[in-house]
Structure 1
Amino acid sequence: MTKRTRRNHTPAFKAKVALTAIKGEKTLAELAQLFDVHPNQITAWKAQLLDGAAGVFGSGVASAEAPSVDLKALHAKIGELALENDFLEGALIKAGMLSVKR
């Protein structure tokens, strides 16, 4: 018995097999023989197609409504907060309410 090398199937091939399985015109055994893949692999591709099918119709709308992030404003806020923390830390050390070994 010879060992078969690992095959990589294209997404188009996987979609074709999964769509054929969804149609239900042939059994898994017939499809496995026709496309030369294991029946479990066909079942996995079919489930993957059904899980991702909703994303085909809804993915464009969600990405268009995503809020844009202003990185300059965020960096400015981080700098401002870091400055306040340093100032307050120094004031607490001078007041004796915070140890220097921190």
Structure 2
Amino acid sequence: MKIFYDKEIFIYTYGENEDADGVSREGYTKVITTESIMVDIQPYSSEKAKKDYGYDIETTDIMFCDIIPEIKEDAIIKYNNKKYSVQKILTWNDYLDVLLLETEVNLNE
């Protein structure tokens, strides 16, 4: 499998934030970075996750990327106008395999 970091993603984290009116609300906030976050996302399946990693987990896609501290199991990844919840993060020496599940969630955009 050839991996190319040619897909730009956006990361959203959940927490308490202050809106423009100074009102504190809980919800998702886009992580602001100085550079684009480039990754490789490929279609994947629960069956492949069981075979490849031994995890019995619901997943629709897999993402390969450098280690990015903002990618946590409660984060939402947005790519190509689709939203994905992080199901499992596998950390290797200098990169991550992230199992994703396409989801519907309000990102308050």
- TM-score (structure 1 length as normaliser): 0.20
Higher strand share: 2
TM-score, structure 2 normalization: 0.19
